[in-house]
Structure 1
Amino acid sequence: MSATRRVGRVFARRSAGGPEPLDLVGSGKLEGALVDWAFYRDGRRQSKVGSYVDALIRARRGDGFVWIGLFEPNEHQLTVIGAEFGLHALALEDATEAHQRPKLERYEDTLFAVLKTVRYVPHGDLTATSEVVESGEVMVFCGPGFVITVRHGEHGELAGLRQRLEGEPMRLAAGPGGVLHAIADQVVDSYLAVADAVQSDIDQIEIEMFSPRGWRNIERVYQLKREVLELKRAVAPLAGPMRALSTLRHPLIGDETRNYFRDVDDHLLRVKEQVVSFDELLSSILQAGLAQVQVSENEDMRRISSWVAILAVPTMIAGVYGMNFDNMPELHWKYGYFMVLGLIATVCFGLYRLFKRNHWL
């Protein structure tokens, strides 16, 4: 018995004696939020299904499953679809509000997964205000006979994924669990691509930081570290849900699908280690930059102190002879003025050579 038929029987038992399904598509209840929907049987999209209501009836009989894609639905739309599919109120509340942490929750025979999507923002020169990583969310309700995806954010489209899966009927034949795996796999693959792109930015900023006067780039390092933390907040919390999906015993997830989830978990572990290393490397670069700032400030203070000491000599001598006491014999000496100028020049030159030799100037 296929996974789709097995979970469909659970759907049918839960819906037995319930009201007829609502025509959410034809009635316009999902207008503005519905991206796409389709009914799948044996891994193939059924184009001959008469209507959305017919698709739900067939799904509840265990004849396939419905995949509905939504983009930023409002609270009323999620309430309507939640009532139709028996979704838990807490899961609906999380799906309404974005900025959720990645997680996996189980409500009886329904799984609710939150995945953070990320996108690398192309830019020319990295500045102190450059956006490097943009994040969004994909929330997946996965139950017997249905998959509902709720997307928040302009990126992370699933239309391309749906098309690829329709070209691989064997993956869709795994049922809602197979769709959940495909979504998780695409999200984690996007993490790898973004991490590789961020690696190039880190390499560039590292070269610039260790160049002469590289400490002037320290604000750019701070900005890049903030963007890496955005990536880290997407990647790190997903480790628990992925590990759970790779070991979870659930009617929606067959043994073969669990094996695929283990592969996704391995990829996630790799990108998690990479992102953690980014964070540590940027912290080291920041410490090196701060050390450069301190060294530069010390050098500036030495230069200032050296010139103050040199200029103190003529200031002191001029102050002494500026008192104009009659009892100063040099005031009436023919060569007194030239002697004082020579003394000032000699002492200043000696101090200059001393500071120069000690690398203060």
Structure 2
Amino acid sequence: MPSIPSLGGLRKVTSRRPATARAPQPVPAYVVDCAVYIDGERLPGQWSYTDAISEVRSRHEGFVWIGLYEPDAEQIQGIADTFGLHELAVEDAVHAYQRPKLEPYDDNLFMVFKTVRYVEHESPTTANEIVETGEIMAFLGKDFIVTVRHGGHSSLHDLRGKMDASPERLKLGPAAVLHAIADRIVDNYLAVTEAIEDDIDEIESIVFAPRGVVGAEQMYLMKREIVELRRAVLPLATPLRRLAEGCSPVVPEDVRSYFRDVEDHLTRVAEQVASFEDLLNTLLDAVLAKITLQQSMDMRKITAWAAIIAVPTMVVGVYGMNFDYMPETHWKFGYPMVMLVIVGVCLMLYRIFRRNRWL
């Protein structure tokens, strides 16, 4: 995806107060990082969230980016009071398990992303889990962005490093960080769908192989994982469209067009997920038809063997009645002849069933 170009040439140069060295501040465990950005550059030192926002507002420029990891209600309350976060959005951020959405509150936005990760496995026919989901919530204001992460796979550490190395992007403000997060998450969607496409291709080749065996349970597992992916992807389209259309003044015009690009990529992912569902429905029908056919063939085999076994059973049953006047009972070759007749009839039935492909 294209990177946001520098607008430094269009900005008025403002006086900047020199950054002072700061003594290390104690950082709570749930705070992953707290940084102050002035004119796209990260100020050195460790910051508490109160000192960070005071620094930005005293300069009347820049913004604060705070990253949190699974905070509880008590831990996030101080940040909510300091930045004026709405209590309903804070409650959603703490409890998680939200659908992707965008909610405006006064002069800030609350956005929810569902993150996905492809779970490596030896074969899709034996995997217990294929897609793992998490969540990233973002509170966006004119001079801050607070990200709340749920799930072990959705780290933003490397993204923050890339943003720190691109001050021309950070000059656009906290909305540029929100775009970078959306861009990263949708890129992960693309990577996951490509990996799942390989799994579905492998399953398809097994299903239509002459002796391929794929259970209906595994097909339902794949469908469940695709449904989980769809729940992460499809609801995100509307929030991205609203951001691109300018639903809030905290997202400047310079950033809105880049959300349109993310939305285009999301549309591609949504189309792939829809095609996966259609293909899996077809493969599931094929698996069920194959199971039905196999059951029919097994029943024919059982019937054929039962017919063959019925011949010696009937003959032995008749001779087991112990009558004195049974045919050939006192003849020297009577027993071998009966056995020969039984074997002959059984072989004749076996050939008939083999010719008709019952055996």
TM-score class, shorter? 0.7 to 0.9
Aligned equivalents of 2:126 and 2:187: distance in 1?
28
Alpha-carbon offset, residue 87 of structure 1? 0.6
Distance 1:269 1:216, change over 3 A: closer
Aligned equivalents of 2:119 and 2:194: distance in 1?
13
User: Which residue matches 2:249?
Assistant: 251
Distance 1:207 1:321, change over 3 A: same
**Percent identical across equivalent pairs?**
53
Alpha-carbon offset, residue 73 of structure 1? 1.2
Aligned-residue CA RMSD in angstroms?
2.4
Aligned equivalents of 1:145 and 1:42: distance in 2?
12
Match of 2:195 among 189, 194, 197: 197
Is 1:57 aligned to residue 74 of structure 2?
Answer: no
User: Which residue matches 2:342?
Assistant: 344
User: Which residue matches 2:40?
Assistant: 43
User: Which residue matches 2:16?
Assistant: none
**Which residue identity does 1:106 align to in structure 2?**
P
User: Which residue matches 1:284?
Assistant: 282
Gaps of 5+ in 1: 6-24
User: Which runs of structure 2 are paired with 1:1-361 in the superposition (5 Å)?
Assistant: 26=25, 31-47=28-44, 53-61=50-58, 62-126=60-124, 128-361=126-359
Distance 1:151 1:221, change over 3 A: same
Alpha-carbon offset, residue 197 of structure 1? 1.3
Q: Does the 8 Å CA contact 2:49/2:79 hold for their aligned counterparts?
A: no
User: Which residue matches 2:17?
Assistant: none
Alpha-carbon offset, residue 102 of structure 1? 0.9
Alpha-carbon offset, residue 129 of structure 1? 4.4
Q: Does the 8 Å CA contact 2:73/2:94 hold for their aligned counterparts?
A: yes
Q: Does the 8 Å CA contact 2:111/2:138 hold for their aligned counterparts?
A: yes
Deviations 1:238-267 (A, max 9, x none): 122112211133211122211101100000
Aligned length in residues: 338
Aligned equivalents of 1:49 and 1:222: distance in 2?
49
Distance 1:54 1:336, change over 3 A: closer
What secondary structure sits across from 1:331 in the alignment? coil
Distance 1:94 1:348, change over 3 A: same
Gaps of 5+ in 2: 1-6, 12-23
Distance 1:158 1:168, change over 3 A: same
Deviates more, 1:301-310 or 1:201-210: 201-210
Deviations 1:89-127 (A, max 9, x none): 100000001211111111111100000111122223345
Distance 1:287 1:215, change over 3 A: farther
TM-score, with structure 2 as normaliser: 0.87
Q: Does the 8 Å CA contact 1:39/1:49 hold for their aligned counterparts?
A: no
Aligned equivalents of 1:50 and 1:333: distance in 2?
111
